Structure 1
Amino acid sequence: MRSKFTPALSRRGFLASCAATGAALSLNPAWADTDGASNLRAAPTSALAFDGDTLVLADAQLRRFDPSGEVVILPAPRIPIRTLACHPDRPGRIFAAPEGGGVVLSLDGGRTWTAASGGLPQAQIMALTVAAGAPDTVYAAVAEDGLWRSEDAGESWSFVMDRPWIAEAEREVLSLASVNLASGMGGIWIYAGTERGLTRVPDCFCRWQDVVAGDAMDALVAGTPPAPEAPLPEGEPVSALASAPAAPERLYAALPSGLWTSEDGGVAWESRSNSQPQGLAVDPADPNHIAAATLNELKHSRDGGGSWVTLAAF
C-alpha cells in the first residue's frame, strides 16, 4: 500500500480554486441551494454522534436523545446532514457536513449553525472526525480529492493527504476516526474506512498503511508488514467507523457483512452482529455504550453490541 501523488494540475487544485466562488453564494454557503451539485455517492440514511452523554441523530432533521429518555427534535435544516463529528472536551460543539459540500459548526448542540468551510473545495465531504488529542483540529475527507485538516475549528483548511491507494486505484474515504494509541508519531492515528477496506495514517501524514501490530515506524521501515491476525473481510466497504475515547484501542466498524469490533487498534476483528448500520457512535465515557442507525431504526447497546434496545423506528 502506498500513497499516490497527484500532478500539479490535479482535481484538488481545480476544486480549491473554486472555493472562493462557492463561499460567495451566501452568508452560510453550506446551506445554499445545490441544484447543480453532482451526487458522488448515495448518502447514508443518518449520521450519529455523541455530544457528551446525549446522542445526536441527523438526516433531514436533527434529534437529540437525552440519557433521561427525552427526545428533542430541532428544526430541519435546508439540506440533510451526511456526517457529524464531536469531541468529549467540547460538549455542545458539533461539526456537520451537509449534502452538496461544505462544513458547518454548531456551538449550541445543533440549534444554530455557522459556516466552517474556509478554504475547503466546493465538493461533497464524505466523512469528518475531530482529532483525539486536539479538539480544535478537524479532518474532512473530500470526495474525489483527499484528506483536509483544520487546526482552528473550521475557520481555515489545508490539504494534508491524497486518498488511499488500494488495489491499484485511489479509493474513496467513507468514514474517519482519530485514535490516540501508544504508537506512531505522537501516538495519534487517522483511521479511514474506504470502498475497499480499512487503512490508516499517522498524523505526520507520511503514507497510508495497513493496520498491523507493533510500532508504526518499524512497519514503515520494513515496507512489507505482516498480515493482520484477524482482519476485516477483504474488499468490503467500511461505511461507518467509530473509536472509543475512553478505551483508545477499541474500534467499531460497519460493513455489508455486519458490525465488527476490535480491541487492539484494528489488528484483530470480531463480528458482533449481522445488522448493517449506516451510522455508528460510541459514548465518550463508556466504550461499551454504542449506538447504530440502520435503514429502519436507531438502537443502542450497553454491552458493546451483544444486545440492543431500539430508541426510534423510521
Structure 2
Amino acid sequence: MTMTIPTTYTGWTGELAAIAAHPLVSGTLFAGAGFYQDRSDFDEGIEPCGIYRSDDHGGSWQFLGPTAPISEVLDIAFDAVDPDLIYAATNGDGLWRSTDGGTNWAHVPISDTLSPVVVEAIVTHPETPGKVYVRTYSYAESPNPEPELWVSEDAGDTWQQLAYVFLGVDLLISPPVPGYPPYTLYTGCEAGLCRSDDDGQTWEPVEGAPRPEILTAASDGERTVIYLGSPGGLVTSIEQQSALLLNTIPGRGSVLGSGVYRMTARLQSHRVYLPSVMRGYMP
C-alpha cells in the first residue's frame, strides 16, 4: 500500500482513525489518518490529521486536505442522496464538509457552539438530502462538558438543537419497518440505549440494552435488527420487540476490549475494510 502524504510528516508514524466506503463507487474509500513523532500525542488524540482518498480498494492513497492540519478524525459520513456531500467529525476541530466529492474541505460551525468542539458521531438521513445529525461536546467552558445533539436540514448551514440525552457515543437511524414510524433515531444515553420516533424531539430508553459504543442496523423489509457494541459484548434487538440477546465469545473468559468493531463492506467486490484494532483476553 502506498500513501501520498504532506512532506511535513515524512518519517512520522501514521495511524488510521476513521474509514468510509463511497456508497456508489466500488473501491473508492475515504479515511482520516493522523501522524505523530511522540506516541503520547496519538494517545491524547492531538496528532495532526488529514483526510485521504483511495480509488483502488486501499492500495494507494492521496491526501485531500484540509490545507491546515485538523485534530483526529472520528467519523466520516456521506449524504444519503448526494454522495458528493461528505462530512468529517473531528476530536476538537468540530465538523468539516466537502460539497465536491472530497476535493475541497471547509469548517462548518454548529450554531453558536464555542471551540474546541468534539464531534463524536454523524448520521445522515436516508431519504432527505442535506439532513444530518451530529453529537457534540464543547470544551470552551468546562473540562467535563455535557453532550449535545444537533440536526441540520440544509447540509450544515443552520442547526437546531435536539432534546438532551446523557452520555453515549454513536448515532443511528434504523431502516423503516412497515406499520411503524418511518425512521427511528438511536443513541447512547445514561439509561443505556435510547430511541426517538419523532426526529429527536423526545427520547425513551430501550429496556435491557447496555450503553453502546457503536451501533448498526440491518433490515429485510419486514423487520429491523439493531446491533450494538458495548464493553460487555454484542447485543442484538429486533425492532419493536423487547427481547434482547447478550452474546459471549465462545471459549473466552474475560475479554479485554470486547465488542463489535465497525466495518465497511462492498459485497459486489468481495472486499471488507476494517480499522486496525487491538484486543486481548484473559482465560
Q: TM-score range by the shorter chain?
A: 0.5 to 0.7
Q: Distance in 2 between matches of 1:246 and 1:285?
A: 16
Q: Distance in 2 between matches of 1:269 and 1:156?
A: 40
1:138 aligned to 112, 132, 135, which one?
132
Q: Distance in 1 between matches of 2:98 and 2:184?
A: 26
1:257-302: CA deviation from partner (whole Å, max 9, x where unpaired): 345555547854464867647962445888x9875434359xxxxx
> Which residue is equivalent to 1:96?
88
Q: Distance in 2 between matches of 1:88 and 1:285?
A: 18
Q: Distance in 1 between matches of 2:241 and 2:276?
A: 23
Given the superposition, is the C-alpha separation of residues 58 and 68 from structure 1 closer, same or farther in structure 2, using an over 3 Å criterion?
Answer: closer
SS in structure 1 opposite 2:204?
coil
Deviation at 1:192, TM superposition (A): 0.4
Q: Distance in 2 between matches of 1:189 and 1:128?
A: 15
Deviation at 1:65, TM superposition (A): 4.9
Counterpart of 1:150, as a letter, is S
SS in structure 2 opposite 1:112?
coil
66-75 or 198-207: bigger deviation: 66-75
1:50 aligned to 5, 18, 21, which one?
21
Q: Distance in 1 between matches of 2:271 and 2:238?
A: 15
Contact 2:135–2:150 (Cα < 8 Å) also in 1: yes
Contact 1:141–1:148 (Cα < 8 Å) also in 2: yes
Alignment of 1:59-98 (within 5 A): 59-60=33-34, 61-66=50-55, 68=57, 70-75=59-64, 77=66, 78-79=69-70, 80-98=72-90
Deviation at 1:137, TM superposition (A): 0.6
Given the superposition, is the C-alpha separation of residues 199 and 162 from structure 1 closer, same or farther in structure 2, using an over 3 Å criterion?
Answer: same
Consecutive unaligned residues in structure 2, runs of 5 or more: 1-14, 35-49, 138-145, 250-254
1:139-183: CA deviation from partner (whole Å, max 9, x where unpaired): 1112214211100001111112112xxxxxxx2231101123237
> Which residue is equivalent to 2:154?
152
Contact 1:245–1:285 (Cα < 8 Å) also in 2: no
Q: Distance in 1 between matches of 2:189 and 2:180?
A: 23
Counterpart of 2:229, as a letter, is A
> Which residue is equivalent to 1:124?
118
What CA RMSD, in Å, does the superposition of the two structures yield over aligned residues? 3.8
Q: Distance in 1 between matches of 2:271 and 2:245?
A: 18
1:161 aligned to 145, 155, 163, which one?
163
1:221-256: CA deviation from partner (whole Å, max 9, x where unpaired): xxxxxx4xxx54x4xx42222334887824332222
Q: Distance in 2 between matches of 1:94 and 1:245?
A: 24
Q: Distance in 2 between matches of 1:183 and 1:176?
A: 22
Contact 1:95–1:105 (Cα < 8 Å) also in 2: yes
Deviation at 1:59, TM superposition (A): 3.7
When normalised by structure 2's length, the TM-score is 0.63
> Which residue is equivalent to 2:277?
295
Please tell me whether residue 242 in structure 1 is matched to residue 216 in structure 2: yes
Contact 2:89–2:95 (Cα < 8 Å) also in 1: yes
Counterpart of 2:22, as a letter, is D
SS in structure 1 opposite 2:184?
strand
Please tell me whether residue 255 in structure 1 is matched to residue 241 in structure 2: no
Given the superposition, is the C-alpha separation of residues 73 and 244 from structure 1 closer, same or farther in structure 2, using an over 3 Å criterion?
Answer: farther
Q: Distance in 2 between matches of 1:65 and 1:258?
A: 32
Given the superposition, is the C-alpha separation of residues 83 and 75 from structure 1 closer, same or farther in structure 2, using an over 3 Å criterion?
Answer: same
Q: Would you tell me which structure has more strand in proportion to its own residues? A: 2
> Which residue is equivalent to 1:280?
262
Contact 1:92–1:109 (Cα < 8 Å) also in 2: yes
Given the superposition, is the C-alpha separation of residues 157 and 285 from structure 1 closer, same or farther in structure 2, using an over 3 Å criterion?
Answer: farther
Given the superposition, is the C-alpha separation of residues 265 and 280 from structure 1 closer, same or farther in structure 2, using an over 3 Å criterion?
Answer: farther
Given the superposition, is the C-alpha separation of residues 264 and 50 from structure 1 closer, same or farther in structure 2, using an over 3 Å criterion?
Answer: farther
Contact 1:250–1:265 (Cα < 8 Å) also in 2: no
When normalised by structure 1's length, the TM-score is 0.58
Given the superposition, is the C-alpha separation of residues 179 and 141 from structure 1 closer, same or farther in structure 2, using an over 3 Å criterion?
Answer: same
> Which residue is equivalent to 1:190?
185
Q: Which has the higher contact order (CA 8 A, sep 6+)?
A: 1
Contact 2:228–2:260 (Cα < 8 Å) also in 1: no
Question: Identity over aligned residues, as a percent?
Answer: 24
Contact 1:246–1:285 (Cα < 8 Å) also in 2: no
Deviation at 1:126, TM superposition (A): 2.1
Given the superposition, is the C-alpha separation of residues 50 and 69 from structure 1 closer, same or farther in structure 2, using an over 3 Å criterion?
Answer: closer
